[in-house]
Amino acid sequence: MLQFESGTGLSASLFGGMGVPAEQVLFFDIETTGLSASGSYVYLIGAAFLSGGTVFLHQWFMDDVAQEKELIRTFLEFADRYRLLVHYNGTAFDLPFLQKKCQRHCLPDILSGKQSLDIYKKLMPCKPLLGLKDMKQKSLEQKMGLFRDDPFSGGDLIPVYTEFIGRYRYEQLTGKNTRPSDENRIDFHNTGLKSMPESPAKALLSVLLLHNREDLTGLLTIAELLELPRVMDGSFSVSFPADKTADACDTLTFHLLPQSKAFCRIFSAFFQESFCKPVSVIPDGCTAAPLVTLSCTPKALILECPVMSGTLRYFFEDYRSYYYLPVEDCAMHKSVAEFVDKNYRQKATRDNCYQKKTGRFLFQPQECFTPFFKNSHKDSCSCFEYTDAIFTDPAGLKKWLAAVLTWLLTPTKS
C-alpha cells in the first residue's frame, strides 16, 4: 500500500462553522472499481484535515488488490480520531460502501458512530436557487470558478487503475519501465498532468491521485456554499432599521450580517446584484403589489420589506361553529349569533368565516407571527399586523426574516 501526504494551500476557514472544533473535521472521498461493494474494490481513499492551522491531504492507495483490508483498516484508524466526517453524497455511496467492506473483512465499523455531514444533501434544497441543471460536484465547482486539471470521471478511471496494476507489477518484477508489446498503447495527452513521470505506471498513478486530490480540494471549496442554507435557516445577526416606529415608514430596511465573512462574496459570485419579488397577499386598499427587495454589499445583505396599509381577513378554522352575517360581512360565533334574526345570518363556510382587520401589515411567506391575515383562506402566504412588538422578539424576527429571504431567493414555479 502506498501513502502520500501534502499541503493544499487552502484556507483553514473552510473547516469552520461545522458545529465541532475545526481540527475534529475530516473531509474524505473514495475511489472504487465499481458501484457495488460486493463485486468491486476500493482502491484509493483521500482525506483532508486541519493540523496546526494548515490544511493537509492524505491519500491511501492500494497497489495490489490483496491490500484492500489493510487500506480500509489504516484509513479507519486515522479517521477514528475525528468527530465529524464530511463528504459529497457519501450517505448514499461512500459510507455504505465502506461499511459493507468492514463486514466483509471483519473490521470494526467506526463510521456509524461518527457525526456525518453530506454536502450534497445539505445543498440539494438550494438547487432551484443555484440555477444548476444538476448537482454534480463538478457543476458546483465550475459555478464557483474552480476548473480542474483532471478531465476524468470516477468511472473513466476504472480501466486506468486496472492498467496501473498490470504495469506496476511488471515494472516491479522486471525493473523495466514498460512492457515491450504495450509500449505505444497508452496516450497520456489530456491527462491533466503537469509533467510526465519517468514510467507509465507512475504516470497512471499520478492520474489516479490527481483525480482524488481534486475531488477533495473541490469538496473543500464548495463547502463554503454551506453558508447559503445556514443563512436561509437564520444564521445571521440583524441590524434593525434606524426608525422602526409603526406609523413612521412604508418600508423597513434590515441589514442581515452573515456569520461567515465569505458569504457575501459567494452570494455575489452566484447571484445577480439584487432581487425583487411582489408579495402575494395584498390588503384591500393597496393599488399595486409592493415589492420585497434584496441587495448585497461586501458585508451584509440588505432586505427591504414594504409596510402595507389596508384591510385583510382573519379566518377561523372551526367554521362550523360560526354564522356568517352578510350585512356586516363578518363571521360570528354561534353562541352569540343565535340571537341574530335568521334572515340576517347563514351558516359560515371556509370562504366567509372571517373577521376583518384594518391596519398596517407585513408579508410573511410562512406563519411566523400570529394572528395572521389573508385575503382568502386558500392563500398559501399571509400577513401579520406591523407593530413595534416584533422588535422585542428577536427569535421570531429572525425566523420571519429567514423565511422572507428563502421565499425571495427561491424561483417561482411557472
Please report whether residue 347 resides in a domain. no
Domain of 196 in residue numbering reads as 2-228
- The CATH number of residue 134's host domain is 3.30.420.10
- Name which of 16, 262, 18 is nearest 122 in CA terms: 18
Cα Rg of the chain, angstroms? 30
- In this structure, how many other beta carbons lie within 10 angstroms of the beta carbon of residue 101? 23
Q: Do 73 and 103 touch, CB atoms closer than 8 A?
A: no
Residues 13 and 79 in one domain: yes
Cα-Cα end-to-end distance for the chain: 54
Q: Is 59 buried (19+), middle (13-18) or exposed (0-12) by CB count in 10 A? A: buried
Residues 95 and 181 in one domain: yes
User: Considering 213, 228, 243, which residue would you say is the last residue of a domain?
Assistant: 228
Q: Do 344 and 325 touch, CB atoms closer than 8 A?
A: yes
Residues 164 and 262 in one domain: no
Residues 178 and 67 in one domain: yes
pTM of the predicted model as reported, rounded to 2 decimal places:
0.79
Residues 168 and 296 in one domain: no
User: Considering 175, 199, 228, which residue would you say is the last residue of a domain?
Assistant: 228
Question: How many domains does the chain fold into?
Answer: 2
Please report whether residue 62 resides in a domain. yes
Backbone φ/ψ region at 62: left (φ over 0), alpha (ψ -120 to 50), beta: beta
Residue in the block written with cell 352575517: 325
Please report whether residue 166 resides in a domain. yes
Q: In what order do the strands lie in the sheet with 54-61?
A: 2-7, 54-61, 42-51, 25-32, 84-87, 115-118
Residues 114 and 253 in one domain: no
DSSP 198: S
Beta bridge partners of 269: none
C-alpha distances out from residue 406 to 49, 230, 402, 409, Å: 32, 11, 6, 5
pLDDT score for 158? 94
SS3 189: coil
Contacts of 81 (CB under 8 A, 6+ apart): none
pLDDT score for 240? 73
Buried b / exposed e along 375-392 (16+ C-beta atoms within 10 A): bebebebbbbbbeeebee
Please report whether residue 162 resides in a domain. yes
Give the up-direction half-sphere exposure of residue 346: CA atoms within 13 A in the CB hemisphere.
8
Q: Do 297 and 304 touch, CB atoms closer than 8 A?
A: no
pLDDT score for 143? 84
User: Considering 228, 245, 260, which residue would you say is the last residue of a domain?
Assistant: 228
Q: Do 180 and 56 touch, CB atoms closer than 8 A?
A: no
Residues 74 and 220 in one domain: yes
SS3 357: strand
pLDDT in tens, the chain (414 residues): 999 999 999 999 899 888 899 999 999 999 999 999 999 999 999 999 999 999 999 999 999 999 999 999 999 999 999 999 999 999 999 999 999 999 999 999 999 999 999 999 999 888 877 878 899 999 999 888 888 888 889 999 999 999 999 888 888 888 766 543 444 444 555 555 555 556 788 889 999 999 999 999 999 999 988 988 888 888 899 987 655 555 556 889 999 988 777 777 777 776 666 788 999 999 998 877 899 999 888 888 899 999 999 999 999 999 999 999 999 999 999 999 999 999 999 999 999 999 999 999 999 999 999 999 999 999 999 999 999 888 889 999 999 999 999 898 887 765
Please report whether residue 329 resides in a domain. no
For residue 328, the Cα-to-chain-centroid distance in whole angstroms is 50
Please report whether residue 365 resides in a domain. yes
Residues 12 and 112 in one domain: yes
CA 219, CA 137: separation in Å to the nearest integer?
7
Residues 163 and 299 in one domain: no
Tell how strand 308-315 and strand 25-32 pair up: unpaired
